[in-house]
Each structure stands twice: as structure tokens, then as C-alpha cells.
Amino acid sequence: MSKVRSANLGYPRIGENREWKKALEKYWNGSLSKEELLAETEQLRLQFLQKQKKSGIDFIPVGDFSLYDHVLDTSVMFGIVPKRFTYNRGPVPLETYFAIARGTEGAVASEMTKWFNTNYHYIVPELEDAVPTLTENRPLAYYLEAKEKLGIDGKPVILGPITYLKLAKGYKEEAFASLLEQFVPLYIQVLKELAEAGANWVQIDEPILGTTLSKKDIAFVKQTYTEINKAVPQINVLLQTYFETVNFYEEIVALPVQGIGLDFTVGDTLSLFQTYGFPEDKVLAAGVIDGRNIWRTNLEEKFTLLEHILLYIDKKQLIVQPSSSLLHVPVSKQLEEALNLVIKDALSFADEKLAEVVALARGLQEGKAAIQKEIEESKRAVQALNDSPYRNDKQTQKNIRNLNHFKASRSLPFAKRIEKQQALFQLPLLPTTTIGSLPQTPEVRRTRLKWRKGEITEQAYAQFIEAETKKWIDMQEEIGLDVLVHGEFERTDMVEYFGEKLNGFEVTRNGWVQSYGSRCVKPPIIFGDVSFDKPMTVKESVYAQSLTKKPVKGMLTGPITILNWSFVRDDILRHEVAYQIALALRKEIENLEGNGIKMVQVDEPALREGLPLDQEKWQDYLDAAVYAFKLATSSVQDDTQIHTHMCYSDFEDIIEAISALDADVISIETSRSHGELISSFEDFTYDKDIGLGVYDIHSPRVPRKEEIIQNIERALQTISPKQFWINPDCGLKTRKEAETVAALKVMVAAAKEIRKAQLALQEK
Ligand code: GLN
Ligand code: ZN
């Protein structure tokens, strides 16, 4: 009898209590040896595999685990190590691996950027002088490990060549074909060795197929998989796509592979499937459980969907699975003891999602009655949250309906506003500032923890935060910065902080997901209608401003970033949630202004990453994002200066939307992408004030003055000094105090030097 099978695509690496993160950081600070790190992480990996096996999943992924990032893993597997790191040949040593990711004294780290439209960041491969070779067969090692240690016949996961090359940089478009020619034989070698070791199915991830590709690209895809199939016919290739409906559906399902993985939780996958059908000779891995959100599935609906899919294919062709790797959700909701039960019942993290997948596969196999209990429970949980007062706030819903005719623009155009602002602030040419957060010492974190546990009083905690703020206001004055910040010492995280204070949010205790490397974030859950409760940042900002004559920026996280870095309810449209948040922030800004804060920064680092993968959907998203930002920021007086900040994305193609935010000043990261952004200002005249990050804060290295000067001068070739600001490329929270002070002093010195030169020029 043919069995409906279940699969997973990838399991969270971090462990239920972030054991993985802790081990890595101990290794980096020298308190764990390499052997200990490898032993600890192996234990974790085996534990993850066992959990998946116990849950009843048929296809358990292996090789999805990583010590930092799976794209970097792919790079080192193929010997792609940038020249500035010492490397000869053979397996890339762990030290070099981490050096590429994190930088060293002598060599800057590789750039990192967002993984499609998620908040996971990968290390961008640099192919400048690539001589691809197979340095080690990683998937094979993991396959053998699972087999030998646990008797699990796993499904190796590999990042596919098309996606890998598309995500890489350092080559011209014309070189794509020849690079592909060099990489494909290496992939074939990997697959051959896997086949020899007994691997049956291999999952090759090609999420790039969900983005907008050209006909030529599809020809490359076809050529690649034809070659692979010819060379290793004995292996079953499951070509896995996710995050978006594939472009070129017909061509893709016709590829000479044995299985296709499609994401049925997005876009029009189902309608394409119905229109064009699915080949009889292939397996369909149907991603029906959303791998990226944390909501419990209404199993009835998904069961019906799968029954529908089975009208077109045979049971034996079907694999039930999550829509993507579960890397993007927390491990298990069992640890959430403090959570409101209505909410907790409606949640599903990685482990719970696997149970959903297994239940659905079993229901299809044994008949719906076999999982009736699970179906009923899931329906009840989802319904209870929908019917709760949290999702039925009449006033908020009315406010959103009334937005229809609301324009949300500042009263004066920028050119007029900036005159008034300059009159008020009297800033020098090329003003210096920072992005907001200042170093959070272990003491800051320890004190916050004590306060959370109730070990110190509210008042003692507030005093501690004030002392820290004061120390840094003094320090910023001494460093000579022109526009100061309060330092964000009261915040663990820029989204969580607001999540704890706005209505409609819930913050989990342990809902961590990997953001980049060992860094994890704990996205708040937007479970209900969002509204303003009481001032969230006023006390801290007003206090900081009271200590200095220089302007202190009020500091908020923008509506789109709050949205994109939270887990968002999926019963209403996302942009409606964004507008609810924006209206709440608007009240906060009015409060700040009412208390004398005349500069307010509204950070939108996550604006870009929310872009749909399908370019046709970009404009709608950007229009809504711009509107939300303006909704939050447009009520202020002309001489109140609105700042925004963005980082770690490619901004070139959304410059117009960025400009449309109509923020008076924007600070944008550029130092890690080595200035590529600057060239886009040659084509697009950005008319408002702008600061391009002049040094990389993700490395502990103190920059040299010449480097910063060089960065500034390069920017000034396309941007007028009159509109240019000088700042690091992101917040300084993760840095140490001493290195931060040193780096900022260098930055201010560089600014002064260029300022002087510019003034001399202007006098001529
Ligand atoms: N204001 C925030 C900070 O400085 C911005 C962080 C970010 O861009 N991710 O930390
Ligand atoms: Zn930033």
C-alpha cells in the first residue's frame, strides 16, 4: 500500500534554551575549546534528529545544521574563501570559517544580508577570485553521522547552485554561465558520494525560483538539473522551493528531477497547480503548514486543501511538509508557561508544526476520522482567539476604516522644513551622530534581569538606567558628537520593547529565532488589535535631553519594522496591522514633541526585507509601507526633525520609496556592502539629509581615521556636503564601551578634518 509520507525541510539550530548560541559564544571568548564546541554541538544536532524521529516525520533533514550559516557552509564546502583570509586548500579550518563571518584584526568580515524576505541573515559569498573545489562533502558527513549514530536514514539538504550563485557577489552577469559550469560538477560529486553512501532522496533548495527570474535563468536551471540527473540518476533529487509561488511553474515541474517542493501557503501556488496539473512521474512535497509563522493551523482547512491536491495526483506521490525550513520559528511552545492560554493554545512552534504535519499525513492515510480529535482541537483553539476581545477592538477597527481619505503628509515640503530646522538646531556642516543604542555592558543586562525577576525595585532599576544614560550623555559630549542619543539602555530589543508596551502584543519567554550567526531575536507576537496604551519612551528621552544643550533624538522603531520583526496575526491583512501600529506610534511622537523632544528617529531597518519576492507585488507593499511611516510621523511641527535609519539590505532598488518616506534625515548602512549603495545616488537625486554609515559596527575592530575619511570622501563625490551626516552604520549596543569610544573619537576626528577642508573649499 502506498503511504502518504511526511517531511521536514530544516530544524532550528539554536536549541530549546539557546544552547547552541551559548556554546558558540563561549568558544569565541575562549572559554570553550574547539573540541568542546564540536562535541557540544554534535550532541545538540543528534538531539534535534532524535526529536524529529520521535515526532514521526518520515524524511528527516540532515546537513541543515550549521555552526553559523548554511550559505557560508556552502561557500567553504566549495573552497570559496575571500583572498584577505589566509587559506590554502583542503577543508576550511573552523577559525577561517568564523573569520569570514565575523572579521579579524586584519580582514573585514564578508557582507551579510537578509535571506529572502526573512529576518535571517546569510554571509554573502564573494566569488572575485573563485577557484571552486570540493574541500569536504558536508552533507555526506552529516548523512553518515545520522545513520551511524542514530540509525536515521536522513535526507541531505543542500543549497542549490542557481540560488547559491544568484546570492553571491563579485562577478559580472556574463560570468554566470561559466561559474555554473565550474560548480555543477562539484555538486555532482557531492551527490555521487551521497548515493554511494546509500542516500535515497536529497533536498536541493532553490528558493530563488520564487523570485522574478528571466527566461535565460530558467534555461540555466534546466541545463543544470538535466546535467545532474544524467550524471547521478541513482539519486532522487527533490528540488525544493519556498517563500513564494514559483515563476515559470510549467517549466519547473517539468524539470528532470524526481520531486518538486512547492509552498502552498503563499501566492497562487494552488491555482497554478490546478491549472497546469502536476506530472505523474514526480513526487510533490506539498508545503502546507506555514514554516514562518507561529500560528496553529486549522487542520480542517489544511486537510481539505490536501484532499484537493489529491484530486490531481496519487497518494504515493505526496509528501506533506512545512512550507519552509523551521529555522524561522522558535523550537517549542511548551516552555511558555506564562503565556495567556487563549494565545498559547492558538500557537504552534517548530515541534508543534511537525506534529501537525504528521497528523495530516496520517489523516490522509488512515482517513479523516483517525485525526478527528486533532482537527477539532485545532479548530477550537483558532476560533477562541478570533472571537476574543483582543481581536474585536471596535475603536481601533474604526480608526483604520476612517483612514480612507487621510493624507498623512507633513504640512511643508522638505526644502521649507529644513530651513526652520536649521534655524532651530544650528548644526555644523557634516553633523555627527550615532544610530541610537550604546554599549549594553554585562552589568546593564544583569541589572535588567534582576529587575525582571523582581530582585531589585522598579525605582532602583530606573535609577540605574538613568545613571547609565547620564554617563553616556557626558561621554558623547566629550567625544564631541553633535546630535546625541539617550542610548536605549532600557531596551533589550528594539521591537520587543514596544511589543511589551503596546496593546495587542504578547512577548514570549523563550520564543527565540536565529537572526545572524549566534545572534537570536525573540519576535513579539501581534495577536490582537494594536493600540497605544501609555507613553513608552518619553521619560527616558526627556531625562536625557535635560542633561545637555545638544539635541537628543527621541528613538522609536517604525511600524513596518515592528511588523516585519514580529510574528503577525494572519486573520487580517498585514498592512492593516501596520496602520494600527502607525497610529499608536503617532500618539507616542505627539507625546515626545509635547515634552520638548524636537528630533525623533523612527527606525525602519526592516523595510526592505518585507519586499515580496515577486516584483509585481512590490509597489503595493511599498505604498503601504510609506503610508504607514508617514501616518506615524506626519503630525509634527515643521521644525521638528524626523530621522529614520535603515541597514543591512540592498537599498538600490527602493530608493524612491525611501525618499517618499519624507524623513528629514536618514542614516543608511553602507560600510559592509563597501559603498555599493553610493553609486545608486548617481542616478537618483536624493534631496533630503542623509548619513551613510562610515564604519562597520559589527566588528570589534576600531577603524582607522583614513578609512573613515575615505568612506566619507567617496560619498561626497555624489552627495552634497550640505545634506550629509556622519554616523556609524548601525546601533552600538553589541559593542564594548572602550572600543566604541575609541571608534567614535576616530569618527569625529575624521568628520572635523573633512569639515575643515569643505569649509575651506566653500570659501574659495
Ligand atoms: N536605534 C537602533 C539601535 O541603534 C537601530 C537598530 C537597527 O537598526 N537594527 O540599536
Ligand atoms: Zn541598523
Ligand 1 centroid distance, CA of 731 (Å)? 4
- Residue 728: CB within 6 Å of ligand 1? no
The region, left, alpha or beta by phi > 0 then psi within -120 to 50, assigned to residue 316 is: alpha
Q: What is the pTM of this model?
A: 0.92
What per-residue confidence (pLDDT) applies to 682?
A: 75
What per-residue confidence (pLDDT) applies to 676?
A: 64
- Residue 647: CB within 6 Å of ligand 1? yes
Question: Is a pLDDT exceeding 90 seen at residue 407?
Answer: no
* Ligand minimally distant from the alpha carbon of residue 603: 1
Contacts 24+ apart (CB under 8 A), 702-708: 702/739, 702/742, 702/743, 702/746, 703/743, 703/746, 703/747, 704/746, 705/746, 705/749, 705/750, 705/753, 708/746, 708/747, 708/750
**Strand 525-531, strand 503-506: pairing:** antiparallel
Q: What is the mean pLDDT of residues 643-648?
A: 90
- Residue 602: CB within 6 Å of ligand 1? no
DSSP conformation letters of 213-269 = --HHHHHHHHHHHHHHHHH-TTSEEEEE--SSPPSSHHHHHTSSSSEEEEETTSTTH
Q: What is the mean pLDDT of residues 581-602?
A: 98
- Residue 731: CB within 6 Å of ligand 1? yes
Q: State which ligand 1 atom lies nearest to the alpha carbon of 733.
A: 10
pLDDT one-digit tens code per residue, 413-427: 999 999 999 999 999
CA–CA gap between residue 261 and residue 241 (Å, rounded):
6
Contact 562, 507 (CB under 8 A): no
Ligand 1 centroid distance, CA of 564 (Å)? 14
Question: Is a pLDDT exceeding 60 seen at residue 1?
Answer: no
CA-CA-CA-CA dihedral for 487, 488, 492, 498, to nearest 10: -160
What per-residue confidence (pLDDT) applies to 461?
A: 97
* Residues paired with residue 159 on neighbouring β-strands, in sequence order: 205
Output the known binding site for L-methionine.
Answer: 435-437, 488, 603
Output the known binding site for Zn(2+).
Answer: 645, 647, 669, 730
627: phi then psi, degrees, rounded to nearest 5: -65, -45
Which residue is closest in CA terms to ligand 1's atom 5? 731
Q: What amino acid positions are annotated as catalytic residues?
A: 698
- Residue 57: CB within 6 Å of ligand 1? no
- Residue 645: CB within 6 Å of ligand 1? yes
Q: What is the mean pLDDT of residues 478-485?
A: 98
Question: Is a pLDDT exceeding 60 seen at residue 674?
Answer: no
Q: Which residues are in the CB-under-5-Å shell of ion ligand 2? A: 605, 647, 730
Q: State which ligand 1 atom lies nearest to the alpha carbon of 731.
A: 4
Top-confidence residue, 89 or 323: 323
Q: What is the mean pLDDT of residues 340-359?
A: 97
Question: Is a pLDDT exceeding 60 seen at residue 494?
Answer: yes
| DSSP percent split of the chain into helix, strand, coil, nearest 5 | 50, 15, 40
Q: Average model confidence (pLDDT) for the chain?
A: 95
What per-residue confidence (pLDDT) applies to 671?
A: 60
Confidence of residue 670 (pLDDT cuts 50, 70, 90): confident
DSSP conformation letters of 696-712 = -TTSSPPPPHHHHHHHH
What per-residue confidence (pLDDT) applies to 117?
A: 86
DSSP conformation letters of 335-347 = G-TTS-HHHHHTB
Q: What is the mean pLDDT of residues 209-213?
A: 94
What per-residue confidence (pLDDT) applies to 546?
A: 98
- Residue 603: CB within 6 Å of ligand 1? yes
Question: Is a pLDDT exceeding 80 seen at residue 107?
Answer: yes
Q: What is the mean pLDDT of residues 755-762?
A: 93
In CATH, the architecture of 428-763 is Alpha-Beta Barrel (3.20)
Contact 121, 328 (CB under 8 A): no
Which residue is closest in CA terms to ligand 1's atom 10? 731
Q: How many residues does the chain have?
A: 764
Joined together, the cell numbers standing for residue 721 give 556636503
Ligand 1 centroid distance, CA of 749 (Å)? 23
Question: Is a pLDDT exceeding 80 seen at residue 687?
Answer: yes
Among 20-24, 61-65, 142-146, 520-524, the least confident range:
520-524
What per-residue confidence (pLDDT) applies to 647?
A: 86
What per-residue confidence (pLDDT) applies to 420?
A: 98
Question: Is a pLDDT exceeding 90 seen at residue 680?
Answer: no
Contact 450, 463 (CB under 8 A): no
Among 2-6, 309-313, 681-685, 715-719, the least confident range:
681-685
* Ligand minimally distant from the alpha carbon of residue 647: 2
Contact 700, 663 (CB under 8 A): no
What per-residue confidence (pLDDT) applies to 310?
A: 97
Q: What is the mean pLDDT of residues 701-728?
A: 94
Question: Is a pLDDT exceeding 60 seen at residue 675?
Answer: no
Among 15-19, 266-270, 347-351, 432-436, the least confident range:
266-270
Output the known binding site for 5-methyltetrahydropteroyltri-L-glutamate.
Answer: 18-21, 114, 519-520, 565, 609
pLDDT one-digit tens code per residue, 239-282: 999 999 999 999 999 999 999 999 999 989 999 999 999 999 99
Distances, alpha carbon 561 to alpha carbons 281, 329, 498, in Å? 44, 18, 11
What are the extents of the domains in the chain? 428-763
Three-state SS string over 518-556 comes to CEEECCCEEEEEEECCCCCCHHHHHHHHHCCCCCEEEEE
Q: State which ligand 1 atom lies nearest to the alpha carbon of 647.
A: 8
CA–CA gap between residue 101 and residue 103 (Å, rounded):
6
Q: What is the mean pLDDT of residues 452-469?
A: 96
pLDDT one-digit tens code per residue, 730-750: 999 999 999 999 999 999 999
Question: Is a pLDDT exceeding 90 seen at residue 762?
Answer: no
In percent, how much of the chain has pLDDT > 90? 91
Top-confidence residue, 301 or 105: 301
- Residue 554: CB within 6 Å of ligand 1? no
Mutate to test the pocket of ligand 1, among 607, 643, 730 (most ligand atoms within 8 A of CB): 730
Which residue is closest in CA terms to ligand 1's atom 3? 731
